[in-house]
Amino acid sequence: MPKTDKKKDEKKQDEKPRETTVEFLASLAGVLVTGLFIITFIVQAFEIPSSSMENTLLIGDHVFVNREQFAPPTPWAKFVLPYRDVRRGDIVVFLSPAQPGLYVVKRVIGVPGDRIHLRDGVVYRNGQKMDEPYVIRSAGDSNPYRDNFPAVPPPSDFSNVNPAWQLTMPQHIQGEDLVVPENSYFGMGDNRDVSLDSRFWGFIPRENVIGRPMFIYWSFETPRDQYERTEASERLKFLAHVVLHFFDQTRWRRTLRFVN
């Protein structure tokens, strides 16, 4: 065989068949379906809208939430996914029991059976004073209901307390404690003076829990009242602001920070 023909045959063997358009689209569809499955069933993006969890989570922190960890175990996947019950100290994202459709993030202070009360702003669980290094106090004011819960009843002009909670709360009080019922949790924000939490709207139902924030994937300096600006013009204005100030107002030091 001539050398030129031999080189041509070797070149043909070395060449890899090109991917057709159909094969490319099929691969792209597979990636998109996999990504959609993960976003829908395993993780969910969530933005922190308020200051109730400062300084653990700041306004403008964007986190990925693990939707599967607290879900009811699936027999075929129980050896793959780390299912477990909600524990004391877990930070959870859940649907507000007071405002349907509103996502809220708080720290779990009490699980079923726990006895909770506050005295001068300090939390006592099952008779023991809690050590909470993550808590900050920012309001600097005196609020007997907030700081001595549930011993002090809410004042009649205190609109932050959910009316339904005012009616049902006495059913769960034993002595100076509020007792957490089955399939429920008592949650509070780390920024105790400004957090509207279980003291104001009641227990977190087990079925309302969405998941646990894993890590911050992006953090951007955001005005405190941005979540209240719901008009399309305001949203577009802030989107333009993000585009213009992406590099100088992104909190780069918080990127990929784990939430705990």
Residue 22 pLDDT greater than 70, yes or no: no
Q: CB–CB of 48/106 below 8 Å?
A: no
Percent of the chain having pLDDT more than 90? 65
Each residue of 69-110: pLDDT tens digit? Answer: 887 655 555 544 567 899 999 999 999 999 888 899 999 999
Each residue of 37-63: pLDDT tens digit? Answer: 444 556 789 999 999 999 999 999 999
Distance CA 34, CA 39 (A): 9
- Structural domain 39-258, CATH architecture: Ribbon (2.10)
**From its phi and psi, is residue 133 left (phi > 0), alpha (psi between -120 and 50) or beta?**
alpha
Distance CA 248, CA 241 (A): 11
Q: CB–CB of 64/217 below 8 Å?
A: yes
Specify the range with the lowest mean pLDDT, choosing from 2-16, 160-174, 210-224: 2-16
pLDDT score recorded for residue 100: 85
Tell me the helices (H) and strands (E) count for the chain, helix number first: 7, 13
Sign of the Cα pseudo-torsion (117, 118, 124, 127, in order): negative
91: nearest Cα among 132, 146, 41, 128: 132
Q: CB–CB of 58/254 below 8 Å?
A: yes
Each residue of 229-255: pLDDT tens digit? Answer: 889 999 999 999 999 999 999 999 999
pTM: 0.81
Distance CA 206, CA 227 (A): 26
- Work out the pLDDT band at 160, boundaries 50, 70, 90: confident
Mean pLDDT of 136-140: 84
pLDDT score recorded for residue 10: 52
- The residues spanned by each domain of the chain are 39-258
pLDDT score recorded for residue 211: 93
Residue 16 pLDDT greater than 90, yes or no: no
Residue 65 pLDDT greater than 60, yes or no: yes
**DSSP three-state, residue 110:** strand
